[in-house]
Chains A and B, each alone.
Chain A
Amino acid sequence: MSESLDLHLASVETSLDNPVLPFLRQDRIPHIWCPGCGIGTSVNCFCRALSDSGLDLDKVAIVSGIGCTGRTAGYLNLDSFHTTHGRAIPFATGLKLSNPELNVVVYSGDGDLFAIGGNHFFHAARRNMDILVICVNNFTYGMTGGQVAPTTPVGPTQTTMPYGNFENPFNLPFIADACGATYVSRWTIYHVRQLAKAMKEALGKKGFRFIEVMSPCPTLYSRRNRLGDGVDQVKYYKEKSVIKNGVDTKEVGLGYQGEIVVGKFVDRERPTWLESMNAHYSHHFGDAFQPYGVKNGQD
């Protein structure tokens, strides 16, 4: 080993630990994500948000579906739930309703949340279920080999679209807004400080909250389309992103390597599902109805 490596190993020995390590299951690190993948950066931001929010970590649960991003639940040192494909939101709904004290976070990918689990997303947003949904959008199915996802823009080549994709993609913030989410924002993994701040803000809010995180997939999406490495995609995010807070979500659709509108688009108040249920049945049955989840201090 050379001198500089020795110096660094020595400095590691005498150093303090990385501030995010207490939030991770360290026996499972290093993780499976490829070099240049942005999911780890988004998890890093989530750990900082948890640390800054000062929440009791015993009262935070994380639910993931299947996919590269679905592995997050296994790496975070919280009560976690690695569920079946696409069903992260139904599991999270059950978790939240059975223990309204919990702050439930769904952390999953675009394929899991919007293709296989699309219906669940719409209905949880419609009901204003009190969960935070973080969607890491890498425009492809990473774990299964780069098939076309509902978020793939028109143009890029994918395993199942060898001559380029011609299907119109979803505009995720528009869907969340139209279905009635109380908080909708989009950031890329270039905007780490803003992303950590948005996650902290969303953790403190009530109702159905949605954050889209754009992340590169260097192994399948970028390589197949000759877009360079993960870091080249993040440089593209840096060049082409425009922060427009409060803009109409209709206008934030993504094109292939086009402009990316980021920011906080929606922040509103609506009664959550539990609040609506309690108000409705209290109105009908009066004192005979025991409101659910109120004695725990939340909802």
Chain B
Amino acid sequence: MSAEDDARKGKGTVFVRVEVCKGCSFCIDFCPSHALEFSREFNPKGYHFPVLGRAEDCTGCDLCGLYCPDFAIFGARWKDLDEKRQAASTPTQP
């Protein structure tokens, strides 16, 4: 997971469902830490989608997730993600 280690510079990260994004730029313009930017690539519909350009600035506050009209992006803190992954990988006691 070298890519993920690289992204772990910040306190949190964002997850984007690239294929449903319509490129309205709400998340990019209203990100409190200005961590997001438009991609250079197009998604299958022809829109530019958000990418985490400055990963070290992302706090995982999930304000982008609240703004997104297309339910395409959400943010999470690494701490919470690790807890959830831990819980998911631990087998439940019968």
| B30 pairs with A18, CB closer than 8 A | no
Task: Give the complex CA separation of A8 and B38 in angstroms.
Answer: 13
A30 is contacted by which of B49, B51, B70, B73 (Cβ under 8 Å)?
Answer: B70
User: What's the nearest-Cβ distance from chain A to residue B72, in Å?
Assistant: 8
Interface residue tally for chain A (C-beta within 8 Å):
44
> B60 an interface residue at 8 Å Cβ cutoff?
no
| A21 pairs with B41, CB closer than 8 A | no
Q: List CB contacts (< 8 Å) of B61-80 with chain A.
A: 63, 65-74, 76
Once A5-B18, A193-B66, A231-B25 are accepted as A-B contacts, the answer to whether A21 and B71 lie under 8 Å apart by CB is yes
A45 is contacted by which of B41, B66, B76 (Cβ under 8 Å)?
Answer: B66
| A33 pairs with B69, CB closer than 8 A | yes
Interface residue tally for chain B (C-beta within 8 Å):
36
Once A12-B18, A35-B23, A234-B26 are accepted as A-B contacts, the answer to whether A19 and B65 lie under 8 Å apart by CB is yes
| A30 pairs with B22, CB closer than 8 A | yes
Q: What residues of A have a CB within 8 angstroms of the CB of B22 in the complex?
A: 30, 34-36
Q: Provide 11 A-B residue pairs closer than 8 Å at the C-beta atoms, listed in order of the A residue.
A: A1-B41, A4-B41, A5-B18, A8-B18, A21-B71, A37-B69, A38-B69, A41-B66, A41-B68, A44-B69, A229-B25
Q: Apart from A20-B65, A20-B74, what 7 extra A-B contacts exist at CB < 8 Å?
A: A8-B49, A10-B3, A11-B3, A11-B4, A196-B66, A230-B24, A231-B29
Q: Which residues on A are within 8 Å of B, measured CB to CB? A: 1-2, 4-5, 7-12, 14-16, 18-21, 24, 29-31, 33-41, 43-45, 48, 189-190, 192-193, 196, 229-231, 234-235
